[in-house]
Structure 1
Amino acid sequence: MKTVADILRNKGAQVTHVIGPDATVLEAISLMADKGVGALVVTEGEKVVGIVSERDYARKVVLMERSSYNTAVSEIMTSNVITVTPEFHHQSCMELMTEKRLRHLPVLQQGRLIGLISIGDLVKEIMSAQQAQINQLEQYIRGE
């Protein structure tokens, strides 16, 4: 069974898209759009203090008729961030994300942010594992 460390090794472990809690929501949404991502880890220095997503924007800015120009990221971010470590198995992450209705999991090692995995990363990993198993079974049936 693959671990988060394996997934990060394949996709790249660097988290290059983070934002501070004092940034405006407009800055966060602009960065997400520019980088083609659906969420940003919110950091103060090296410390993870939250996560902000497109879902947060839709529910806490648009629906509440706030202005993205003068609303701070800290006002809409999820501050009780659920994280995983590199040792977590991909199946455990999938269960956690399904149960908690999450789309992104920051990866911490000794309290330091080392990566971010998405539901898409996990689905890709599961599909790859299933295809490998299908290939093995086909080879077995053919007697190879």
Structure 2
Amino acid sequence: MQTVRQLLEQKSSNELIAIGPQATVYQALQTMAEHDVGAILVMDMDDIVGIFSERDYARRIVLQGRTSIGTCVRDIMTSKVVYVSPSQTVGQCMALMTEKHFRHLPVMDEGKVIGMLSIGDLVRATIAEQQFVIEQLVNYIRT
């Protein structure tokens, strides 16, 4: 099974998209829209202090009657960030995401953020791996 490191190496774009905790929710949403992502890291210098997702917005802005312009990301972000290491497998990441009910997963190596995986990244990798196995089995049966 493919490792997180291998998956990150294959991604077309592994740009880290982050915002500071003092930024407004509106600024975070703008950044997310510009990069077409569903979550953004909240970083203070090189340290992850949280993650902000569309789910955070829906549950902590819209449903609580707050405003995007008047609320700082630090006030509504998910501050308990779960992350994985580059040596973990795609399967382990999928199991973790399923168990914890989230769709974005930062990757840390020696205390430094080196990437972010989405559930879409993991599903694509799983489908590609399954397709490869199917092709190998078909070739084996034909020979």
How does the TM-score come out when normalised to structure 2?
0.97
Which structure 1 residue ranges, 4+ long, deviate > 6 Å from structure 2? none
Q: What residue is the counterpart of 1:24 in the other structure?
A: 24
Contact 1:25 1:72 in 2 (8 A): yes
Q: Report % sequence identity.
A: 49
Separation in 1, partners of 2:13, 2:6: 10
1:52-71 aligned within 5 A? 52-71=52-71
Q: What residue is the counterpart of 2:5 in the other structure?
A: 5
Separation in 1, partners of 2:8, 2:123: 14
**Gaps (5+ residues) in structure 1?**
none
RMSD: 1.0
Mean CA deviation greater in 79-88 or 12-21:
12-21
**Gaps (5+ residues) in structure 2?**
none
Separation in 2, partners of 1:43, 1:115: 13
1:21-49 CA distances to partner (integer Å, 9 max, x unpaired)?
00000000111111100000000000011
Separation in 2, partners of 1:13, 1:85: 19
Contact 1:82 1:105 in 2 (8 A): yes
Separation in 2, partners of 1:36, 1:141: 42
